[in-house]
């Protein structure tokens, strides 16, 4: 038997040992078994609390960290076992850059994605809510649409105004290109006065979000999963059809 053959024979055993040691290591260090739950072909991503961006927020905030979500989305896109992505939102908004980065990542996934707004999807949560292939909102869920507030130092007034306007335009453009709401309607909702006690803007509740064209349908987890499974089936048959010719 040559040296190479011996190596080949040894390999499965070595791999098995490696697997075992990884398991033991995981138990010793994480204090728990790696997840052995039945594998699902859907990856569920939750976006909760504040979307944390370039600054770490004080500890009373519940935050969603974009540096974790972004590699998660890359992993979900790349992992062959994952066929669809479900994004569940209950967020009060947060960092504009981080929020838009997440929204862009979701909208450019090649795998089917469905978003579901539960509770709330406010401010920068709005572009994320419309980023998926199809969006759902619970009947009682709300979305607050309001202008971006000024924070930070003002050195030049016209420049600051211009900057805020540009930031706002990014959000408006993303939302109007990824949903059925018109720019005029979205801006009308954004600058409405007399609706919110301490801000201008509008709180849109479930059915209204669908009526304005912001969200596709009213629904809960059942509808969202059903839609995602349908989209996965469509994609599979599409790929199969594509290879026949």
Partner 1 sequence: MTLYTNMPPELVWAGFNEEQQSQPLIEIETAGIRMEIEPVGHGRGKIVRLLHAALDDYLRPELSPGQIINYANIYSPK
CA 127, 140, 192: angle at the middle one, nearest 5?
55
Q: How many CA atoms lie within 13 A of 191 on its CB side?
A: 8
Query: Which one among 111, 134, 146, 178 touches partner 1, defined by CB under 8 A?
Result: 146
The reply to whether 167 sits near partner 1 by the rule CB under 8 A is yes
Q: Which of residues 101-140 bind partner 1 (CB under 8 A)?
A: 122-124
- The one segment of 91-99, 110-118, 219-227, 230-238 that binds partner 1 by CB under 8 A: 91-99
Whichever of 72 and 229 has its CB closer to partner 1, that residue is: 72
128, 98 contact by CB (below 8 A): no
Contact 33, 19 (CB under 8 A): no
Helix (H, G, I), strand (E, B) or coil at 196: coil
Residue 216: how many other CB atoms lie within 10 Å? 20
Q: Which tokens go with 93?
A: 């908004």
User: Which is nearer to partner 1, 33 or 240 (by Cβ)?
Assistant: 33
Size of the site for partner 1 (CB under 8 A): 51
Whether 49 and 8 have beta carbons less than 8 Å apart is answered as no
**Cβ distance to partner 1 smaller for residue 95 or 216:** 95
- For partner 1, which is the closer residue by CB, 38 or 59? 59
Distance CA 232, CA 112 (A): 6
For residue 133, the minimal CB distance to partner 1 (Å) is 20
Q: Which of 113, 122, 135, 146 is catalytic?
A: 146
Map the footprint of partner 1 across residues 19-78, applying CB under 8 A: 22, 25-26, 28-32, 34-35, 43, 50, 53-61, 65, 67-68, 71-72, 74-76, 78
What does residue 20 show for φ and ψ, rounded to 5 degrees? -60, -45
Span near partner 1 by CB under 8 A; candidates 101-109, 132-140, 141-149, 204-212: 141-149
146 has catalytic annotation: yes
Q: Name the residue among 49, 142, 69 with its Cα closest to residue 109.
A: 69
CA dihedral angle for residue 169, residue 47, residue 144, residue 103, rounded to 10 degrees = 20
Chain positions contacting partner 1, by CB under 8 A: 22, 25-26, 28-32, 34-35, 43, 50, 53-61, 65, 67-68, 71-72, 74-76, 78-79, 92-97, 99, 122-124, 144, 146, 148-149, 151-152, 167, 171, 198-199
Q: Could you give the residue numbers annotated as active site?
A: 123, 146
């Amino acid at each position: 038997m040559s040296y190479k053959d011996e190596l080949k024979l040894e390999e499965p055993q070595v791999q098995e040992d490696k697997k075992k040691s990884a398991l033991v290591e995981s138990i010793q260090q994480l204090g728990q078994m790696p997840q052995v739950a039945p594998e699902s072909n859907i990856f569920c991503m939750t976006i909760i609390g504040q979307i944390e961006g370039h600054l770490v927020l004080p500890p009373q905030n519940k935050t969603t960290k974009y540096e974790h979500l972004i590699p998660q989305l890359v992993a979900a896109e790349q992992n062959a076992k994952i066929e669809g992505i479900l994004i569940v939102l209950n967020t009060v908004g947060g960092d504009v850059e981080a929020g838009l980065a997440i929204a862009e990542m979701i909208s450019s996934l090649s795998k089917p994605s469905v978003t579901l707004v539960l509770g709330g999807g406010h401010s920068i949560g709005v572009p994320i809510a419309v980023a998926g292939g199809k969006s759902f909102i619970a009947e009682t869920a709300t979305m607050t649409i309001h202008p971006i507030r000024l924070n930070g130092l003002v050195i030049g007034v016209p420049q600051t105004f211009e900057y805020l306007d540009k930031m706002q335009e990014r959000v408006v453009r993303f939302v109007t290109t990824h949903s059925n709401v018109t720019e005029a309607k979205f801006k009308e909702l954004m600058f409405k006065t007399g609706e919110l006690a301490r801000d201008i803007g509008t709180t849109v509740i479930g059915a209204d979000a669908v009526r304005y064209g912001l969200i596709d349908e009213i629904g809960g987890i059942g509808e969202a999963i059903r839609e995602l499974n349908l989209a996965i089936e469509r994609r599979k048959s599409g790929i199969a059809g594509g290879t026949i010719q």
